[in-house]
Chain A
């Protein structure tokens, strides 16, 4: 009798509200973690994803650009250019450096690229334009928002003043943001004019990419070459290995808290309704009838909490993003369904935990 499950719940309105509040917060936490993960995942590798070259050439043993160092020289770039089947070779220099504004210092991923071919530059320009000269810079949108930079402002990097000419998106890796300058400026900054981090290689039409990659490896044993898909996967893997364990741990804590809260409420409800349950048992209630009441309560709470969480999640995220622009989130319908499924599963687990109390209700209670 579903109405009985509802009546038990609404008989203690404050407790119900607190429980829904607690479960909703757990659901919001899970939504938020997934959304942040998706935002970071996209932001971290969007730069690579959008630079759709055929091959990425790095120093041997380097597998990615997110958490690995690679140094290649212009000489190696010239050697690659000589290999048959190569259309273009674009060096990119990635440096970790700092920007100082007032008393705040922030680390950035300074990306030097050749503005003439544009390869290795920002994936999207939201406002303004790309860099053309050595004293120009394109900033990530969240970085610019956080430090209140706008087009035309000057950014001080080391002793150099650069003018903000563009704002980019898809360049926020959560813990760090990409900014873009000319390759020449980046090389000047480190004092090594021939230095680069990697080469972005395009292959002439009609040539087999794998064969060209093989030729590069053969001629330049100190260089590792990846096709675009594998290089993207390498970087995603690298990003996930640093982020996913944390995500899983916090999500697990959220799920456990949710289960504990629900189990507690259901158990208290059973204890308080001990007499009712004993009456129902004495009157011939099948065990599944009583179990169904508990499951119904758990599913009702988790459903209401999920709806409530969905209603407040998006405005909440908007508020968080306005306070901390570097937090970028993305939540897909599939992820929402996944979280709600997990919540439903955990609510079933909590109802099964609470059901154990039903066994300890004796029929003779009603004759006492």
Chain B
């Protein structure tokens, strides 16, 4: 029997513009960006450095506000979320992956995963058990007691991905997740994200300038000079 998968709108951007500075120092980072993303979809946001990919991710995450236009997250205008609601949203429904991993060096791999589970309100013991299970599921159990400075780049990124997936996020925002990795490690990470999208019906938005990732995306959005290229 085929499983019926409900596709819901996760992100809806409507004529989004972001301008930094004023008057002569004005920089238009994003101009009139509109698109929607749905659950079960891996979107590749591709473009050269400075094209506005990261700015777009920060706007989607509610970390910064648009100059004009609207961002709707989980079918609600982001302006209507209180700071507390946005914090809870980031803790429970959004996962982040960064190019330079941003693991906390003074915490072990297991604690790095455990910490985000705390944010979802999980009790210490449950968070600990779940973090351990996740590491084992992704064959990273051997790293549980190791600190990030003693890990390879690939190991760090895999732990960072596990951290992003730990809260069973509906939306994963990945900023150049393969940027610091060798090809094989990069493909491993993107495949992992692709599986997560399909198996769990989640939405993943990957910002990258790596054209080799296009084969893994359900949809590709090309950003150039802060604008989505026509025809994409």
Interface residues of A (CB under 8 A from B): 1, 3-4, 7-8, 11, 275-276, 279-280, 282-287, 289, 363-364, 366-367
Contacts and interface: CB of A to CB of B under 8 A. Distances in A.
Interface in B51-108: 54, 57-58, 61, 63-64, 87-92, 94, 96, 98, 102, 104-107
A283 B107 contact: no
B58 A283 contact: no
Contacts of A275: 102
Contacts of B104: 4, 276, 279-280
Nearest to A362: B63
16 contacts: A1-B111, A1-B115, A4-B104, A4-B111, A7-B107, A11-B106, A279-B104, A280-B115, A283-B163, A284-B87, A284-B89, A284-B90, A284-B94, A285-B87, A286-B88, A364-B64
B187 interface: no
B150 to A, nearest CB: 15
Contacts of B120: 284
A279 B106 contact: no
Contact of B116 (A11, A283, A363, A364): A283
B107 A284 contact: no
Interface of B: 54, 57-58, 61, 63-64, 87-92, 94, 96, 98, 102, 104-107, 111, 114-116, 118-120, 163, 167, 175
A308 to B, nearest CB: 24
Contact of A289 (B57, B111, B119): B119
A138 B94 CA distance: 83
B106 A284 contact: no
A1 B114 CA distance: 9
B94 A367 contact: no
A1 B106 CA distance: 12
Nearest to A367: B54
Given A1-B111, A7-B107, A284 B54 contact: no
B185 to A, nearest CB: 21
A285 B98 CA distance: 17
A4 B115 contact: yes
Contacts of A279: 102, 104
B95 to A, nearest CB: 8
A284 B81 CA distance: 14
Q: Is the interface of A mostly helix, strand, loop or mixed?
A: helix
Given A4-B115, A280-B115, A284-B89, A366 B106 contact: no
Contact of B119 (A284, A363, A367): A284
A71 to B, nearest CB: 74
A3 B111 contact: yes
A8 B105 CA distance: 10
Nearest to A368: B54
Max chain B C-beta neighbours (<10 A), residue from A283, A364, A367: A283
B63 A363 contact: yes
Given A279-B102, A289-B118, 14 more contacts: A3-B111, A11-B106, A276-B104, A276-B105, A279-B104, A280-B104, A283-B116, A283-B163, A284-B91, A284-B120, A284-B167, A364-B58, A367-B57, A367-B63
B119 A286 contact: yes
A3 B118 CA distance: 13
Nearest to B163: A283
Give me the 9 closest cross-chain CB pairs, A-B, nearest first.
A284-B91, A284-B90, A7-B106, A363-B63, A284-B119, A279-B102, A276-B104, A367-B54, A283-B116
Nearest to A279: B102
A284 B57 contact: no
Nearest to B54: A367
B78 to A, nearest CB: 14
A1 B98 CA distance: 22
Nearest to B116: A283
Nearest to A278: B102
A282 B111 contact: no
A315 B90 CA distance: 54
A4 B107 contact: yes
A3 B107 contact: yes
Nearest to A286: B87
A364 B116 CA distance: 18
A7 B58 CA distance: 30
A290 B107 CA distance: 15
Contacts of A363: 58, 63
A284 B61 CA distance: 11
Contact of A282 (B63, B107, B118, B167): B63
B58 A1 contact: no
A283 B119 contact: yes
A63 B92 CA distance: 72
A1 B96 contact: no
Contacts of B163: 283
Contacts of A367: 54, 57-58, 63, 98, 175
Contacts of A285: 87, 91, 115, 119
B94 to A, nearest CB: 7
Contacts of B102: 275, 279, 366
Contacts of B167: 284
A251 B115 CA distance: 40
